[in-house]
Amino acid sequence: MTAIGLFGAGGRMGQAIRAEANARGDVTIVAPDAGAVVLIDFTSPTIFDAQLAQALRASLPIVVGTTGLSSEQQTAIDEATAEIAVLESANMSLGVNLVAHLVREAAARLGPNWDIEIAEMHHRHKVDAPSGTALMLGRAAADGRKIDLDANSERGRDGNAGPREAGAIGFASLRGGSVAGEHQVIFATEGERVEIGHRAESRAIFAKGAVAAALWLKDRPAGRYTMADVLGLS
């Protein structure tokens, strides 16, 4: 039985992870300071720093699912990986990680005349936009195109925004109801479109991925890992 310390146990993802642990029977969820061998974090950027510090103090590997982290927090993760194993992914599902792989490939093969737009929809409670997954898919597209996402993205068009910038990757976010997570990457050129998408039907897929990631990570050496490593997609 593997003891997993869970940050955010009372939240939507925390509940889904506890359900997954109960269904599996080979892991038990404990408080992060109560004898865990690996940690999982699904909380908020506002409390993330303290949780990373706790993982470092206890010298425990940590799976980070929280999205909306700042570039300073990403740098703090990079620094922590000198001492502990950290797996950070904006989306723990097999399907989305496969989609990221396909998007990188499509962006590399379809030339700059194909405009790239990424649309996402989530439940009414979600606080960050674009979603972490949309940004991850944007980075995959930018990697495929060999461009820098930060210098080539268009977000939140409104009013007399003018025509789209050539080569930009566009983002659109919808919020409503109980949608677990939908992402669509659209490659559009004159006369045709290619669309690669994913629909999460419930949080169970993220929870399954997070627990599988924790079991995979617990015996790894210090370093930074992604779901692509767990799923053999790297």
Ligand X SMILES: O=C(O)C1=N[C@H](C(=O)O)C[C@H](O)C1
Ligand Y SMILES: NC(=O)C1=CN([C@@H]2O[C@H](COP(=O)(O)OP(=O)(O)OC[C@H]3O[C@@H](n4cnc5c(N)ncnc54)[C@H](OP(=O)(O)O)[C@@H]3O)[C@@H](O)[C@H]2O)C=CC1
**Which residue numbers are catalytic?**
122, 126
| Cα–Cα nearest to 138, from 112, 163, 171, 93 | 171
For the packed helices 204-217 and 12-24, what is the interaxial angle rounded to 10 degrees? 70
Q: Please, what is the angle between helix 45-58 and helix 71-80, to 10°?
A: 10
What span, in angstroms and rounded, lies between the C-alpha atoms of 169 and 234? 23
Q: How far is the CB of 6 from ligand X (least distance, A)?
A: 16
Q: Are 42 and 13 in contact (CB under 8 A)?
A: yes
Indicate the SS3 state at residue 48: helix
Task: Indicate the residue among 60 and 64 with the shorter CB distance to ligand Y.
Answer: 64
Q: Which of 10, 111, 163, 191 binds ligand Y (CB under 6 A)?
A: 10
Candidate residues 9, 90, 196, 213; the one interacting with ligand X per rule CB under 6 A = 90
Task: Indicate whether 184 belongs to the interface with ligand Y (CB under 6 A).
Answer: no
Q: Which of the listed partners (ligand X, ligand Y, none) does 14 bind, with a CB threshold of 5 to 8 Å by partner kind?
A: ligand Y
126 binds ligand X (CB under 6 A): yes
Coil/strand/helix, residue 233: coil
Distinct helix (H) and strand (E) counts, the chain: 7, 11
Residue 8 binds which of ligand X, ligand Y, none (CB < 5-8 A, kind-dependent): ligand Y
Whole-number Å distance between alpha carbons of 5 and 214 = 10
In the list 48, 206, 216, 225, the residue contacting ligand Y (rule: CB under 6 A) is: 206
Q: Contact, 206 vs 96, CB < 8 A?
A: no
- Asked if residue 124 lies in contact with residue 180, where contact means CB atoms within 8 angstroms, the answer is no
Spatial separation of the C-alpha atoms in residues 97 and 66, rounded to whole Å:
16
90 marked among binding-site residues: yes
Q: Which does 11 bind (CB under 5 to 8 A by kind): ligand X, ligand Y, none?
A: ligand Y
Q: Is 9 annotated as a binding residue?
A: yes
Q: For ligand X, which residue of 63, 84, 122, 170 counts as binding (CB under 6 A)?
A: 122
Does position 100 interact with ligand Y (CB under 6 A)? The reply is no
Interface region with ligand Y, contact rule CB under 6 A, candidates 36-44, 79-87, 112-120, 168-176: 36-44
Of 44, 54, 152, 226, which lies in the binding site for ligand Y, with binding defined by CB under 6 A? 44
> Between 131 and 184, whose beta carbon lies closer to ligand X?
131
SS3 of residue 96 by DSSP:
helix
Question: Which residue ranges make up the site for ligand Y (CB under 6 A)?
Answer: 8, 10-14, 42-44, 46-47, 65-68, 89-92, 132, 206
Task: Give binding residues for NAD(+) as ranges.
Answer: 8-13, 65-67, 89-92
Task: Give binding residues as ranges.
Answer: 8-13, 65-67, 89-92, 123, 132-133
